[in-house]
Structure 1
Amino acid sequence: MQRRDFLLTSAALAAAGCAKGDPPLPPGEMLATSHALGHRMRDGGLPAATEKRKAKVVIVGAGLSGLCAAWRLRRAGFSDFEILELESAPGGNARWGESAVTRYPWGSHYIPLPTRESRALRLLLAELGVLLGDPEAETPRYEERALCQAPQERLYRNGTWDEHLVPIAGRSRGEVEEWERFQRRMREFQQLRGKDGRRAFVIPVEHSSRDPAILALDRITMGAWLQAEGFHSEAVRWVVNYACRDDYGCEYRVASAWAGIHYFACRVGSARDADHDAVLTWPEGNGFLVRELMKRYAFDVKPAAIVHRMEETAKGVTLTAFLARENRSVAIEAEHVIWAAPFGFAARAFANAPPPIAEALRSYDYAPWITANVALSELPYIHHGAPLSWDNVLYDSPSLGYVVATHQGLQARPGPTVLTWYLPLATDTPAAGRKRLLETPREAWAEMALAELAKPHPEIRQIAQRVDVFANGHAMVIPRPGRIWGGAAQVIAARKGRVHFAHADASGVSLVEEAADRGVAAAESTLASFSVRTSSMRWNS
Structure 2
Amino acid sequence: MLTRRSLLATPALAVPGCSFLGALPGTLSGADMARGHLLRTPFAAGTPAETRRTKIAIIGGGIAGLSAAFTLAEAGHRDFRLFELEDSAGGNSRAGRNAVSAYPLGAHYLPIPNPESSGVRHFLERIGTITGWQGGKPVFDPYQIVADPEERILHLGRWQEGLIPAIVPDADRADLAAFFAAMDRFRDHKTSDGRRAFAIPMDLSSRDPDLRALDALSFTAWLDARGWSTPTLRAHLRYCTRDEYGTEPGEVSAWAGIHYFAARRGEAANCAGDAVLTWPAGNGYLAAAMARRVAGHIEPGIVVAAVRTSGDGAQIDALDVANRRRIRILADAAIIALPRFVAAHVVAGASAKGFGYSPWVVANVTADRLPAGQGAKLAWDNVSATSDSLGYVVATHQGLAAVPGPTVLTWYTALSDMTPATARTLMTDRPLADWQRIVHDDLMAMNPDLAGAIRRIDVWRWGHAMVRPVPGFFFGGARENAAKSAPPLFNAHSDLSGLSIFEEAHFRGSTAAEAAMTHLGFAHVSVHTA
Deviations 1:499-526 (A, max 9, x none): 1111111111110000111111000001
Asked whether 1:264 is paired with 2:261, we answer yes
Alpha-carbon distance in 1 for matches of 2:390, 2:402: 27
Aligned partner of residue 212 in structure 2, secondary structure: helix
Aligned partner of residue 322 in structure 2, secondary structure: coil
CA 1:134–1:275: 2 relative to 1, 3 Å: closer
Q: CA deviation at 1:141?
A: 1.0
Is the 8 Å Cα contact of residues 116 and 138 (structure 1) preserved in structure 2? no
Aligned to 2:3: none
State which of 452, 457, 469 in structure 1 corresponds to 2:442. 452
Is the 8 Å Cα contact of residues 127 and 289 (structure 2) preserved in structure 1? yes
Alpha-carbon distance in 1 for matches of 2:387, 2:299: 39
Aligned to 1:363: 354
Asked whether 1:411 is paired with 2:401, we answer yes
1:21-100 to structure 2, matched below 5 A, reads: 23-48=21-46, 49-100=48-99
Alpha-carbon distance in 1 for matches of 2:163, 2:526: 39
State which of 300, 303, 318 in structure 2 corresponds to 1:303. 300
TM-score (norm 1): 0.92
Q: CA deviation at 1:482?
A: 2.2
Alpha-carbon distance in 2 for matches of 1:23, 1:459: 16
State which of 456, 464, 486 in structure 2 corresponds to 1:496. 486
Aligned to 1:225: 222
1:103-502 to structure 2, matched below 5 A, reads: 103-134=102-133, 138-167=136-165, 169-351=166-348, 353=349, 358-359=350-351, 361-380=352-371, 382-409=372-399, 411-502=401-492
Alpha-carbon distance in 2 for matches of 1:332, 1:363: 30
Q: CA deviation at 1:47?
A: 4.6
Alpha-carbon distance in 2 for matches of 1:329, 1:156: 54
Alpha-carbon distance in 2 for matches of 1:323, 1:461: 46
Alpha-carbon distance in 1 for matches of 2:15, 2:199: 48
Alpha-carbon distance in 1 for matches of 2:346, 2:20: 49
CA 1:120–1:493: 2 relative to 1, 3 Å: same
Query: AA paired with 1:373?
Result: N
Q: CA deviation at 1:270?
A: 2.4
Aligned partner of residue 362 in structure 1, secondary structure: coil
Deviations 1:260-313 (A, max 9, x none): 100000111121231232100011011111122223442432222221111124
Query: AA paired with 1:30?
Result: L
Name whichever of 248-257 and 299-308 sits farther off: 299-308
Aligned partner of residue 190 in structure 2, secondary structure: coil
What is the aligned-residue identity percentage?
40
Deviations 1:79-106 (A, max 9, x none): 1111111111111011001112111101
Alpha-carbon distance in 1 for matches of 2:418, 2:319: 32
Aligned partner of residue 364 in structure 2, secondary structure: strand
Query: AA paired with 2:312?
Result: K
Alpha-carbon distance in 2 for matches of 1:194, 1:303: 45
Alpha-carbon distance in 2 for matches of 1:156, 1:308: 48
Alpha-carbon distance in 1 for matches of 2:109, 2:361: 18
Aligned partner of residue 249 in structure 2, secondary structure: coil
Q: CA deviation at 1:76?
A: 1.0
Aligned partner of residue 49 in structure 2, secondary structure: strand
Aligned partner of residue 66 in structure 1, secondary structure: helix
Query: AA paired with 2:191?
Result: G
Q: CA deviation at 1:322?
A: 1.7
Alpha-carbon distance in 2 for matches of 1:306, 1:507: 25
Q: CA deviation at 1:461?
A: 4.1
Q: CA deviation at 1:228?
A: 1.0
CA 1:414–1:295: 2 relative to 1, 3 Å: farther
Name whichever of 293-302 and 322-331 sits farther off: 293-302
Deviations 1:124-174 (A, max 9, x none): 100111112249x6532100000001000001122111210013x332211
CA RMSD of aligned residues (A): 1.8
Q: CA deviation at 1:375?
A: 0.4
Is the 8 Å Cα contact of residues 47 and 328 (structure 1) preserved in structure 2? no
Count of aligned pairs between the two proteins: 516
Aligned to 1:7: none
CA 1:318–1:162: 2 relative to 1, 3 Å: same
Deviations 1:462-483 (A, max 9, x none): 1011110101111111111222
Query: AA paired with 1:465?
Result: R
Name whichever of 386-395 and 266-275 sits farther off: 266-275
Aligned to 1:5: none
CA 1:199–1:460: 2 relative to 1, 3 Å: same
Query: AA paired with 1:336?
Result: A
Alpha-carbon distance in 2 for matches of 1:261, 1:489: 19
Aligned to 2:10: none
Query: AA paired with 2:249?
Result: Y
Alpha-carbon distance in 2 for matches of 1:443, 1:46: 37
Is the 8 Å Cα contact of residues 15 and 444 (structure 2) preserved in structure 1? no
Aligned partner of residue 133 in structure 1, secondary structure: strand
Is the 8 Å Cα contact of residues 44 and 318 (structure 2) preserved in structure 1? no
CA 1:52–1:239: 2 relative to 1, 3 Å: same
Is the 8 Å Cα contact of residues 378 and 415 (structure 1) preserved in structure 2? yes
TM-score (norm 2): 0.94
Q: Structure 2 unaligned runs (5+)?
A: 1-13
Query: AA paired with 2:360?
Result: W
Deviations 1:30-70 (A, max 9, x none): 11101112222135455533333322111111111111100
Q: CA deviation at 1:537?
A: 0.9
Q: CA deviation at 1:534?
A: 2.0
Q: CA deviation at 1:349?
A: 1.0
CA 1:377–1:79: 2 relative to 1, 3 Å: same
CA 1:138–1:481: 2 relative to 1, 3 Å: farther
Aligned partner of residue 271 in structure 1, secondary structure: coil
Query: AA paired with 1:375?
Result: T
Is the 8 Å Cα contact of residues 369 and 450 (structure 2) preserved in structure 1? no
Q: CA deviation at 1:25?
A: 2.9
Aligned partner of residue 323 in structure 2, secondary structure: coil
CA 1:379–1:182: 2 relative to 1, 3 Å: same
Aligned to 1:3: none
Q: CA deviation at 1:15?
A: 5.9
Query: AA paired with 2:183?
Result: M
Q: CA deviation at 1:255?
A: 0.9
Is the 8 Å Cα contact of residues 358 and 464 (structure 2) preserved in structure 1? yes
